[in-house]
Structure 1
């Protein structure tokens, strides 16, 4: 593409039709310009831009303005209230009001109270939600508001995470309330990553597992208060046999008996991450490898009683590329990851 073509780029085009966007026709002089590209290609490229860049691009021409307000561009809405490269508050409200009903994935960081009302009102058909680095009181209002508005009915994935496990501690009551909201309002949930600095109680675990029988992927941080008996709530629930991914962080009472119970009940499990299990020994890890034939990956972090070559003779090899969704950040400890090697026929 020549410089001359770029200089002639801004020009008026027709708005999108009801059944799709109009494809601009080639220029008369035969040279391909940016606006001559298929709309699908332009949309795919624009999706890589941050909110501020998208808002600036809309000023180039009427066609880019049309693309900016098209619903397909906002099927994934990724926003951070504290970042300067996000949409400004006015545009954020307009996008949520104009395209909120078509948003399927909502990823929001540093959510503030003033942003909450527009988010709750606009988004009713969500299948994926990620709320990151949100203060406890705002998070409670957000989860409660979205669930009461029915936005979680179709939800299949929910991430509630914090960048640092030592900031903005959540009380056990707050955690119980959050997991109760999730358990009662997300009947179709298949993937939950709950990685916050707040102790999970047996009651919270019961509320979650009773309401989400279809879970296939589960990350739980701050399992500090849960012992083997408490985990029976999870392992006896309908979702246990469906779990394919399981991350248990700050597992203070995690021991060999718990690993044996996981091997006996989570028969579809493929990835297991165990963090800060001080009582776990080589015997428990080998039990998983031998009994759980579906298991493909084991990651052990801050488990001080595990030997380096614990699975060398059990069909596993060291592999740092374990597919972990969220790595527990505290307490920090030495990590090991193992991948099962397929056996030759």
Structure 2
């Protein structure tokens, strides 16, 4: 399913791209229709209201963990309101148009923003409408695809604040997936005594080293950490995180398990060593900063922190037309998806930017 759009695949959706002088009348949206079933819907082109922007999407990104749970229908019924995406359409569990990594070009709304490339927490839709305050103009020199990682960077930043991770700390990140690597790259900008990414897969450890990070096996990881950030979404990973935490240390749990049950080894030295497990959820800014940072300010900070290393986390591309099949593969763990970190969905406008 991994592919890159060609010039001939551009169907055209915006008047200034096509040069036809006519606005598009319809737009495509990706919806999870039922458990394990996704489809593209053709809908009328949305219109922005007062204070809103119409954005034509260049790229959207698949946040593998969250979107797999949504695709499989594994969002617990009692937290569907809490776990909804900022600009989702429909209601969890389904039918729903979820997702929260979107970069596009402003087409209507504030005159000062028309033509600007922006990141929003919107999903896999050719056109999105969001409030002006929810659109973040890309920093100068930031490629559109890199900016997709702003939403993941926000998760990583939340985890670092939740610890909190401080200068001179010994820090372990357990799990070298999208969340773990993004968190580790952000943490690497701090003056830490030690930063290790704990990963069981040898090939992934080699990739992590290429990012300039220290990758180790669970057996070789340093002990006595001040903060351990866990994102492997597995019981074994959480057990490793607890083992690596020093006395009185905190494990920040960044994984979301959905309806799955996990076994946590609390009967060993968890109480004796006074360990803490802190939940972090991106829907809220952590308590220590909640009175001084809005969610929008947190996202803007994450976007500004993305450097060229983050480009290496983009591992594959597929055109929007293939998204239903791609999402099924991602959610079912098809072999080709296991090496993916951030899989990018290219929308028709992307072809114009690539070849125009």
Fold shared per TM-score above 0.5 = no
Higher strand residue share: 2
Q: Which has the larger radius of gyration?
A: 1
TM-score (norm 2): 0.27
Q: Higher relative contact order by CA 8 Å / sep ≥ 6: 1 or 2?
A: 2
TM-score (norm 1): 0.28
Higher helix residue share: 1
